[in-house]
Structure 1
Amino acid sequence: MLHVPTIDISPYIDRQGSVEQREAVARALDDAASTVGFMQIVGHGVPKSAIDGLTAAFDAFYALPIDVKKRYVRPENRGYSPPKSESLSMSLGVANANQMNDFFEAFTVGAGRSAYPERPDLPASSYPENVWPDDVAPAFRAGVEEWFAHARKVSRVLLHAFTDGLTLPTGYFDDLVDHSIDIMNLNNYALDEGEIALAGELTGMGAHTDFGILTVLWADQVPGLQVLDADGVWHDVQPADGALIVNLGDAMARWTNDRWLSTIHRVDPPIVDGRIMRRRSAAFFFDGNFDATIETLPGCADTDRPGYSTITVAEHIEAKLAGLKAGVAPTGVEREAERLAAARSAS
């Protein structure tokens, strides 16, 4: 069975642990990153009050009528995405029978250009400003921004630990993340009454890999998240009490030449008494600078396994977004697509 380890990162929070304690955490992270690409993180320092504020924001917005929520649809990667407007599996070049059939709805926020006033030259295409729903203001924005700040801090703490786990010099990634494309999706998995009968070809969130450095995920303890192992078998993963789920993205896999794994995963909440069981999640994507170059890290080159072609963070994200939002298959994802096509349900 696939094992997602639980790792206490408290020695890295505000550098409060000893050198030996941090070394032990870095080794555990290295092991998890190289074997499964997923981990459960505890000792992260995020207070319960922040989770309460996040869930209150969730419930306030998603209780709005669909026509009200659609007022906040934006062409850029911000605001509201209705059900069946995306297909995550197309980010791997694998089409669904009905194309845009992921039934989750989402609200996306991120670091706009105003988050980096020292860099007025940042492109709006990578750093669009947020749209905030007036109908549930100001509590929605306050709850979301507080959680965003905590997730952002956790991601930076983890990057420091990852640097140690890869035995790279301290601060190695600093110049690659000082104006990072940080994005968070508030995902709501549900369908209106009556639509469940139409759900034969629908998926909660299609199989995909994440695009950036790492993802910090808060989720309800409701079944649905599944991770694909190296043998093509899907396994259920649920957050432990008080834990955040963390997984690596494509940028880290490419940097490490697949020493560390960007693992395919999907979401399919269960159907109970003919209804989809509601599931909420907040996925914070720590993607790196738009102009950061993704190329093989020192010590990760392998003569038997050529490294990936060089690409920038923005180029990679744009290709993936074209897949999930417009149905345009990206190039260079053949390996992942073959794994997905061969996947089977765990017995």
Structure 2
Amino acid sequence: MLDTPLGAVQVVSLADQAADPEAFAQSFGGSFERYGFAIVRDHGIDEALIERCWAATRELFAQDEATKRRGHVPGGGGARGYTPFGIEIAKDASENDLKEFWHIGRELPAGHRFAAMMSANVWPEAPAGFRETFLELFAAFDAAGEKLLSAIARYLDLTPEWFVPAVEDGNSVLRLLHYPPVSADAPGVRAGAHEDINLITLLLGAEEAGLELLDRDGNWLAVKPPAGAMVVNVGDMLQRLTNHVLPSTTHRVVNPPPERRGNSRYSMPFFLHPAPDFPIQTLPGCISEARPNRYPEAITAHDYLHQRLVEIGLIKA
């Protein structure tokens, strides 16, 4: 069942944070606690940069399959570069997703302590300026994410800087997503029902219909933000860290109506991850008699990510 209205998922302005960080944290965190999602406008990422990125994304995926596959790293688990159409599958799904994507990660200096756990980036020969453009976008997402994590920390009664050491040199990933036109008899959906793995996801491109979240009352809610706004959602790492105070909500991307099936859909999610050695250990303030600790054993972000990538078929066990 689909509820067409967006309901009460909060639309907040990141521009309000500087004037009243506590009020912003309560609005943003409250939407996270209720829905696992929030919509953020005035996020500070330059519109001209975003437009350059959309143009480069369309040009990238318009290349022939052989050219794109030069960016594929066999056995790399999709960590960097190109993942061809139809490989990723949602956990417990029966049909693979109808998408292809390109992953860009953090650039590390030679000899960095995380070099063995964070793959080097793979850069295509075209479009021109691809590397510089998307490293600029990566840095802009990083900056916006740091502000949002500060609000989450306030909401959880932590110091505003609590997440800063956790995400320093974090294994975040910028995904360029292409959902090709969908045939009338296509099996599956563009992206099956799933939860994200990371701390939080910052998404551009949800104006094109298709993204839906599963509300806790069992209804699917269509997520359609104002033009230029960012959709932000809780990932499983943050859910585990907060003992489900902030829920990682199931969501999906459904196939378009018949009149839109001939159109591609593009989006750019930024999966904000902590550093690989960050211990995901339940926050004491999220444990109570009414909410016992679901996760008494800590796990590093690297080990947790590996477990989940096996589940979605990007890494073989």
Q: Check whether TM > 0.5.
A: yes
| 3-state SS, counterpart of residue 181 of structure 1 | coil
Q: Does the CA-based 8 Å contact 2:146-2:164 persist in structure 1?
A: no
TM-score, normalised with respect to structure 2: 0.90
Alignment partners' CA distance in 2, 1:53 and 1:157: 24
2:234 equivalent in structure 1: 248
The 5 A counterparts of 1:37-186 are 37-74=36-73, 75-76=75-76, 77-87=79-89, 89-90=90-91, 94-96=92-94, 98=95, 101-114=96-109, 120-124=112-116, 126-136=117-127, 138-186=128-176
Give the C-alpha shift of residue 175 in structure 1: 2.2
2:309 equivalent in structure 1: 321
Alignment partners' CA distance in 2, 1:82 and 1:35: 35
Alignment CA distance shift 1:107-1:64 (3 Å): same
Give the C-alpha shift of residue 232 in structure 1: 2.1
Question: Unaligned stretches of 5+ in structure 1?
Answer: 330-347
Give the C-alpha shift of residue 129 in structure 1: 0.8
Q: Does the CA-based 8 Å contact 1:226-1:266 persist in structure 2?
A: yes
1:188 equivalent in structure 2: 178
Give the C-alpha shift of residue 68 in structure 1: 1.2
Question: Unaligned stretches of 5+ in structure 2?
Answer: none
Q: Does the CA-based 8 Å contact 2:190-2:255 persist in structure 1?
A: yes
Alignment partners' CA distance in 2, 1:274 and 1:238: 16
Alignment partners' CA distance in 2, 1:260 and 1:267: 22
Give the C-alpha shift of residue 190 in structure 1: 0.8
Give the C-alpha shift of residue 276 in structure 1: 4.4
Alignment CA distance shift 1:240-1:269 (3 Å): farther
TM-score, normalised with respect to structure 1: 0.83
Per-residue CA deviations over 1:270-314 (Å, capped at 9, x if unaligned) read: 043483432110000111011111111131102233323221111
2:11 equivalent in structure 1: 6
Aligned length: 307
Alignment CA distance shift 1:160-1:326 (3 Å): closer
Alignment partners' CA distance in 1, 2:87 and 2:115: 25
Alignment CA distance shift 1:328-1:305 (3 Å): farther
| 3-state SS, counterpart of residue 51 of structure 1 | helix
Give the C-alpha shift of residue 123 in structure 1: 4.4
Moved over 6 A (4+): none
Residue range with higher mean Cα deviation, 298-307 or 219-228: 298-307
Alignment CA distance shift 1:209-1:276 (3 Å): farther
Of Structure 1 and Structure 2, the greater helix share is in 1
Which residue identity is paired with 1:305?
Answer: R
Residue range with higher mean Cα deviation, 273-282 or 287-296: 273-282
Q: Does the CA-based 8 Å contact 1:57-1:144 persist in structure 2?
A: no
| CA-based RMSD | 2.0
Which residue identity is paired with 1:196?
Answer: S
Q: Does the CA-based 8 Å contact 2:151-2:160 persist in structure 1?
A: no
| 3-state SS, counterpart of residue 120 of structure 2 | coil
| 3-state SS, counterpart of residue 227 of structure 2 | coil
Q: Does the CA-based 8 Å contact 1:196-1:274 persist in structure 2?
A: no
Which residue identity is paired with 2:204?
Answer: W
Give the C-alpha shift of residue 140 in structure 1: 2.1
Alignment partners' CA distance in 1, 2:293 and 2:170: 24
Alignment partners' CA distance in 2, 1:72 and 1:170: 39
Alignment CA distance shift 1:167-1:104 (3 Å): same
Alignment partners' CA distance in 1, 2:114 and 2:155: 31
